[in-house]
A = this chain, B = another copy of it.
């Protein structure tokens, strides 16, 4: 299955990404709720909920008897997007041991030097007694944090991922979405030392060819340039 969370959320994410990727023309017919229900294998109720949520967001317009359309960009609430920098970087870390604290300190100082604000969240969820990590729950929180970061239109995401859970799908999807109208936002994978490009620590940075600030990269244990 996809990643996590409610179906209507995933549908919303997917559609948002597609609209951001300019796969639809404003004013042109979008998709019917029946197409949605077939394509995602959900009930009509769920499809309708996703569409209505996106209408509430101002992304779509639905006209009874006609269909569902992509809203006029002018009507879409203030999305200069690529031009405007939020000045915020999200840092999503799993766990708060000594090493993670070190990483966080480095990230904080790197952001502070550049006048960036820092969203911090910890995706680790520990089982009450054992102290062990609860991986499924942590993964869910990681996904949720990524999702929120995208919705907040952060300029960059520093991700210290949940152990042993690369989950490239979410990341790619996130990258596609966060990009918005600006072309070529890149995923900067960790260096080749890592087996998975996401297993050590990685960074998404918004904008074409944008590189992660070196001090931040260094804090993540990524020696070389990304």
Q: Spell out A's residues near B (CB within 8 Å).
A: 56, 91, 96, 101, 104-105, 108-109, 112, 117-122, 141, 148, 152
Contacts and interface: CB of A to CB of B under 8 A. Distances in A.
Contacts of A112: 121-122, 141
A119 to B, nearest CB: 6
A122 B96 contact: no
Contacts of A108: 120-122
Nearest to A102: B96
Residue of A105, A120, A121, A122 contacting most chain B CB atoms (<10 Å)? A120
A88 to B, nearest CB: 8
A183 to B, nearest CB: 27
Contact of A118 (B96, B101, B105, B119): B119
B122 A121 contact: no
B122 A119 contact: no
